[in-house]
Amino acid sequence: MPGDLSDGLLWYTVFLFSTVCHEAAHAWTAFKLGDDTAQQGGQVSLNPLPHIRREVVGMVVVPLLAWFTAGWMMGWASAPYNQAWARAYPRRAGLMALAGPAANLGLLLSAALLIRVGLEWRVFDVPFALSPMHITDAMQAGAFTWVAKALSVVFSLNLLLCVFNLLPIPPLDGSSVPLLLLPAHAAARYFDVMRSPVLRVIGLLLILRGLGGFFPDLLRWAGGLLYPHVPFN
């Protein structure tokens, strides 16, 4: 259906931009902290092409298949880094890991701010029920209908990317947070353990099993913060 295709295009555009911001933040932070691996690959950039070339399956094939089969957008990307650098400077590696979710948090807060401004200007309204494409609705049909839908997708997708990537499960970014706190020798050992292929496979299985269960509750919680006086069921 044309509506489905237009919604899919919107989701993919937001997914691509949000993912590129996430990976570019990793790459830029690593570059500033002494590792130019991603910079040499052109990933200190919001240009999606270097990121797509690195992960064609995760950034093109899987997201589009997920949309046309499940009506949802999912995928992955990555920024290369020097493992010897990360092991030698674990706190820098921890900051690099947090930079990606921080970029998604920035996009999430920007969307929330624009939604609140739209409410004050009476171009947006509180939706009857929250959903990923209806965090806010336009007061009247027209151009703001598309803007409301776009901001809703930016809000919901970056909420998921931010919180999801902070889970302390390898290979997600949250598994690197202890690098900021551990003594140098313990951090090096922790880094080696987290690189274990077995742990990463177990982590991926846990992620796939639990992803669908927590997002509706997370969305309602975020909606409660955005609209503190509106009860959502």
Note the pLDDT tens digit of each residue in 45-89. Answer: 999 999 999 999 999 999 999 888 877 788 889 999 999 999 999
Fill in the amino acid letter for 59. M
122-168 residue pLDDT tens: 999 999 889 999 999 999 888 899 999 999 999 999 999 999 899 88
Catalytic residue list contains 23 = yes
Q: Please give the mean pLDDT across all residues of the chain.
A: 90
Bridge-partner residues for 131, per DSSP?
A: 134
pLDDT greater than 50 at residue 1? no
What band does 207 get if pLDDT is binned at 50, 70 and 90?
low
B/e letters for 121-156, b = 16+ CB within 10 Å, e = fewer, are: eebbebbeebebbebbbbbeeeebeebbbbbbbbbb
Bridge partners of 134, per DSSP, are 131
The better pLDDT of the pair 194, 149 is held by: 149
Catalytic residue among 10, 15, 20, 23: 23
* H helices present in the chain, as ranges: 2-32, 37-40, 48-54, 56, 62-70, 83-88, 90-120, 143-165, 184-194, 197-226
Which of the pair, 233 or 131, is modelled with greater confidence?
131
pTM over 0.85: yes
The answer to whether 156 touches 20, Cβ cutoff 8 Å, is no
Whether residue 90 has a cis bond before it, omega within 30° of 0: no
**Which residue in this structure is represented by tokens 């932070």?**
29
Which of 67-76, 111-120, 157-166, 208-217 has the lowest average pLDDT?
208-217
